Amino acid sequence: MNKSLSPTQKITFSAMLIALAVLSTFVAKTINMPRGIDEEQIPWGHGEGLDSKYLYVCHAEFNAILNTRDGAHLNGCTLYVTLFPCNECAKAIIQVGIKEVVYLSDKYAEGTAFLASRRLFTMAGVKLRPYEGKTLEISVKP
């Protein structure tokens, strides 16, 4: 079923932010190699050891924090994400003072990195909240 919002329909601010988080995964490459590193030189697969991309990439949350002109402006903010942040992103989120994380999916909840992330957020007093509002269907056409 393909529903579109009419010009008179309104969505919440939270719904808009979650939609933007989802849309950004289509529009921009949100998992990147660090600046200046040719991704063709690094394995992009789910390999083991040094052949795993996870040792090299920067996640969307980390990129967003690093690319903010003045990280001090993030102090006290709420971060909206599509996936619950890993432990590496959690450390950056905590360091810049983000006080709440709203996530759309927690599909890796039992993974060690995500259990550690939850522990870090709890110790730092960061509020965690699954997004429970309306979700918008987003389709990207070539």
Active site residues per annotation: 61
Instruction: Give CA–CA dist 97/68, Å, rounded.
Output: 13
Structural element, H or E, at residue 93: helix 87-95
The neighbour count for residue 72, using CB atoms within 10 Å, is 9
Residue with tokens 């993974």: 111
Q: What is the DSSP letter of 28?
A: S
What number of H helices and E strands is found in the chain?
Answer: 4, 3
What whole-number distance in Å separates Cα of residue 81 and Cα of residue 86? 11
